[in-house]
A and B are shown apart, each in its own frame.
Chain A
Amino acid sequence: MTITEDAPGHVGSRRLRKEDPALLTGEAKFIDDLALPGAIWVGVVRSSEAHANIVGIDGSAALEIDGVNEVLSGEDLAPLWGEGALPCAWPVTPDMKNPAHLPVARGTAKYVGDAVAVVLADSRYAAADGAAAVVVDYEPLPAVVEIEDAVADGAPLVHADLESNECYTWGLWGDNAPAIEAAFAEAAHVVSERYLQQRLIPAPMEPRGCAAVPSPAGGELTLYSATQIPHILKVMTAVVLGIPENKLRVVAPSVGGGFGCKLNVYAEEILCSALAMQRGAPVRWTEGRAEAAVSTIQGRGQVQHIELAADADGKVTAVRVKLLADMGAYLQLVTPGVPLLGGFLYHGCYDIPNYMFECTSVFTNRTPTDAYRGAGRPEATYAVERAMDSLAVSVGVSPEEIRARNFIGADAFPYESAAGLVFDSGDYQTVLDKAVALADIDGRRAEQAQRRASGSSKRIGVGFSSYVEMCGLAPSRVLASLDYGAGGWEAATVRISPTCKVQVVTGSTPHGQGHETCWSMIVADQLGVDPDDVEVLHSDTAVSPTGLDTYGSRSLAVGGTAVYMATEKVIDKARAIAAHQLEASEDDLEFSGGVFRVRGTPEAEVPLAGIAFAAFTAHDLPDGMEPNLEAHVTYDPPNFTFPNGTHIAVVEVDTDTGDVDLIDYVAVDDCGVQINPLVVEGQVHGGILQGAAQALYEDAVYNSDGQLVSANLGDYLVPSAAEAPRFRLDSHATPSPTNPMGVKGVGEAGTIAAAPAVINAVVDALRDLGVTDVDMPASPQTVWRAIADAQGGAS
C-alpha cells in the first residue's frame, strides 16, 4: 500500500491535533513545572565582561542571604568534569580549532554570559538573589566584537593560545576554479554583492531549563531537560561525565519550542548532572529570559560576499561565494557545521554549472552561535535571492523573468547540482506561476506605478523569493563525508496490543510539530485503525531508547518514514499469520481497511484484531514464528529531500519615516506529500513570521565593548500579532522519490524563504529613489537612512 494511492482518508486530511487538550488546559508539564521536593536550585553567575581575566570571586555577600548555601567557582567545580569539556560534534576540517569549552570558566571569561561561578540555594528566589550578590573581580582584556574585526590586522585574540581568531576554512570548488574564472571573464553581466546576516536570538517562548534527579542507591541519574535532543544529550552527557550509559536516562518533557536552540548540549545540563551525582540530591536550573539571550546559542552572524556571472540573456553561468562566519567564543554542538549546511545551496533553485563556495569561520568574544531555524539555508537563500534581483535589474527584466530563465527545469530531476547534490523532484516554474497569480502581481505593480507617479510617500514594493532547501538529514555516509560526528538515521518501533491498540515508539522528539497526530494518521491508514487507537511515545530514553531526535526538518522524512516502514513490517508478519489461519498463500491475500482477505474468495477473511490476539496467545502461529505483533526499523535515508517554493511579499514603505508595513504575503510551497495540511500551514505561518522578523525587527545588537544591548523582549523585537500579516498559502506537491510516502519536510521552509522576499520588496519599493540595498533588520531608521543616502548620493 502506498499512502498516495489508496489512503482510506486520514493522511491528507486536516485532522485536529491530539496534543492540544493537555496544552490547552495547563495539564502538560514543561520542565519548570516538575515538582522536585528538596531540589537544590542553581543560579549561574555570568560574566559581565566580554573578555576578562577572573581575578577573584567573592561569595561572602551571597552566602549571607537566607537560603543560599554555597558559591562555587570554575576552579571549585573542575573536579566534577576533569578534562571533560562541552562537546562539538562537527569537526569540519582536520585542522579546525576547538578550544576546550568548560561548563564553568576557569581563569578567563570569553563573552558576556560566560558562566564564571554558580550558587546553590534552597529556592529559585534565593538562587537568583545569590547569583546577583556574588562579586567577581575582573581584569578586562581587549575584546573582538564584530566578525570582520576578528580577522583585522592586529586583532586581539579570543583564545590567547591560538595564533589567530580563525577557526577553520572550508571550501567547495573541486577542480572547477579555471571554469569559474572563465565564466566571469566572459560574462555579459556580473553581480557582486555584500550582505550582512545579523545575529539573532532564537527566543522560543519557553526558556531553557533542566533538572537532574539521582537515584543514589543504584547510581542512576535521570536528566530532565527542555531539549530537542534527549537521545543525543544522553550519549554526550555519558561521554563528558563518564556516566555509564546504562545508568543514565534523559527525558524531554513538554518542550515550549526550540527552533534549533535546544539542539545542543549545554553547560547547565552537564553542571546539574554532575552536581546531582555528587550530592545525591535533585539539582535544577531554570533560565531567565535576559539570561537566555546570552547563555543560549544565537543564530546567523555572517558576512556574505556573492558574485554571479551571467550571459547577455541573464542566464547565470557561475556563482562564487565567500563567507565570514561568526562562531562566537566557543564551538557548541554543531556550530562549525551551520555555514556548510548552506554551503551547497548558494545556487538556489537555478541551473548554474559552475560553483564555488568558501567559508572562513572566526571566533569573537560573543555568545556561541549554532543552528537556528533553517541553519545555513536561510543565509544561502537570502544571498542568492537578493543577488538574483540585482541581476534582473542589470539585465532589465522582471524578478519573475530572471528566475524563469534560470530555474532547474521540471524535466531535469533527478538533478545533479554543481555543488554535488542530487535534487529529488520539483516543478519550480509552476510553483512560481501559482504564486504570481495568487499575489495579483499586475495589480500591485499598477498600484506601485500610480503611487510613484503621484509622488505618494507611501511606496509599494513587491519582493520575490524562490528557494530550495535540503531536508531529511541525512544519509549517514554523506554526513561521514562532511566529518559530522554521528549518523542521520531514525528509529521506530510499532507494536499492536492484544486488543488491537497500536503503540508507536519514535526516535523523533516533537516540541510543537504535532508528531503524535501525524504519526497516528500515517499508521492508522496503513493498519485500517482509528488514529485515536494509536499512541505515540517519544522523548524519554527509557521508552524510546534509540533515536536521533528532531531538527533540520528531518522528522517526517526520516522519522516518519521509519514509522511507516516499521508498520509495513508489522503488516508483513500479520499477513503470515493470516495466511496460516486462512490456509492460503500470502501472495493471495490483500489487506485493506484492517482486514486480510483471500483474493477472489471474499468470505475468507480475518481482521487485524483477530490476528493481534492470536499473535498474543501464540497458540497457533506458523512454525518458528515469534509471538506478538511488533517490529523495529532503523531507517537511513538514501538521499536528502528538497522542499522548495516561491514566496512573494508586498510591503508599503513610508518614505518620510522609513516605516515598513508588510501588507500581503503569499507562499506557494512544495513540501512533497502532506500528511496533515493543517499542521503544514501552521509550520509555514510560524516560519514565515520568523524569517520576516529577521528582515524587519530582530537584531542581537552588541556595543563596541561586547555588551548585548537587546537582551530582553522589550529591546529584542519578537513580533506580536499586531505586526504579523495575514498569510495566503497554496501548495504544489511533487512527491519525493526518496521515501515511500513521497514526503519532504516543512519545518524551516517559511523561515528560509521569508527574509529575502521581504527585503527584496523593500528595495523594490525604493528602487526609483536610488536605493539598491537595505540591511537587515530594515528598521525605520535603517530604511530612512538608506533613502537619505541614495538621495544625497544622487544630488
Chain B
Amino acid sequence: MTAVTLTVNGTERSLDVEPRTLLVHALRDDLGLTGTNVGCDSSSCGACTVLVDGQSAKSCTMFAVQADGADITTIEGVADADGTLHPMQQAFHEHHALQCGYCTPGMVMAAISLVEEYPGLDEGGVRHGLEGNLCRCTGYQNIVDAVLAAAGSGGD
C-alpha cells in the first residue's frame, strides 16, 4: 500500500492505496465519491472524466499515486454548497442534455474544462472537443446546445 494525499473538491484527503489502484476507483471506492462513473476499460467513453489541477482527465487512465498532491474536482464539487447548480449543470438541465444520466458527470466535467480552455467555440468545435465522451441516449444535440449556451453566458 502507498500513502497518497489528494485535494478533492477543496478538501485534503489522505488514503492508502495499492500502487495499481486507478484514480477513478480511489475516488469511488475509497473516498465514496460515486458520481464519477466507469463506462469502459479502454479509455474510450469519458464517463470517468474529472479535473486534475484544472485540466479534464479520464480518471480511469491514471493511477491514484500519479495524482499524489494534485487538486481534483469531481462532479460532486461543482455545484455551490447551497445546492445551486454550476452554470454548466444548469445548462444541461435546461436543454434536456441528459436522459439516463450515466455519461452526464463526465460530460459536464469535460464541458466545463473545454469551455474554459477554448472560449468562443462554435458548434463544430464543441462537437470535436467532446469527442472523447460518449453518450448513448441523447444523440448529442442537446448536449452541444447546452455547452454552447453555457459558453455564451460566460458560464465557464
Contact = CB atoms under 8 A, between A and B. Distances in A.
A720 B104 CA distance: 14
B75 A257 contact: no
A552 interface: no
B38 A32 contact: yes
Given A207-B39, A712-B41, A713-B45, A720 B99 contact: no
Interface in A677-700: 678-679, 681-683, 685-690
Interface string B23-60: 00100110011111111111011010000000000000
Interface string B69-101: 000001110010000010001001110101111
A21 interface: yes
Contact of B37 (A19, A256, A686, A714): A256
Given A205-B136, A720-B134, A714 B34 contact: no
Contacts of B75: 24-26
A124 B96 CA distance: 34
Given A288-B41, A289-B40, A721 B76 contact: no
B151 interface: no
Nearest to A728: B141
B101 A724 contact: no
Given A33-B34, A713-B40, A16 B137 contact: no
B42 to A, nearest CB: 4
A678 B96 contact: yes
Q: Is the interface of B mostly helix, strand, loop or mixed?
A: loop
B32 A30 contact: no
Nearest to B100: A512
Given A23-B101, A26-B35, A205-B45, A257 B137 contact: yes
B13 interface: no
- In this complex, the member of B38, B105, B123, B137 whose beta carbon has the largest number of chain A beta carbons within 10 angstroms is B137
A713 B35 contact: no
A25 B39 contact: no
A66 to B, nearest CB: 10
A722 B41 contact: no
A20 interface: yes
B63 interface: no
Contacts of B47: 205
Q: How large is the interface on B (under 10, 10 to 19, 20 to 34, 35 or more residues)?
A: 35 or more
Interface residues of A, number: 58
B98 A23 contact: yes
A690 B137 CA distance: 9
Given A24-B92, A26-B76, A257-B136, A713 B99 contact: no
Given A25-B75, A512-B101, A679 B34 contact: no
Nearest to B99: A512
A607 interface: no
A256 B137 CA distance: 9
Given A26-B34, A512-B137, A289 B39 contact: yes
The 3 closest A-B pairs by CB, nearest first: A26-B35, A256-B102, A23-B101
30 contacts: A16-B94, A19-B101, A20-B93, A20-B101, A24-B79, A24-B104, A25-B75, A26-B34, A26-B36, A26-B74, A26-B105, A27-B35, A30-B37, A204-B100, A204-B102, A205-B102, A205-B134, A205-B135, A206-B39, A206-B102, A256-B101, A289-B42, A290-B42, A512-B100, A513-B99, A685-B139, A685-B140, A686-B137, A720-B140, A721-B143
Interface of B: 18, 20-21, 25, 28-29, 32-42, 44-45, 47, 74-76, 79, 85, 89, 92-94, 96, 98-105, 108, 123, 126-128, 130-144
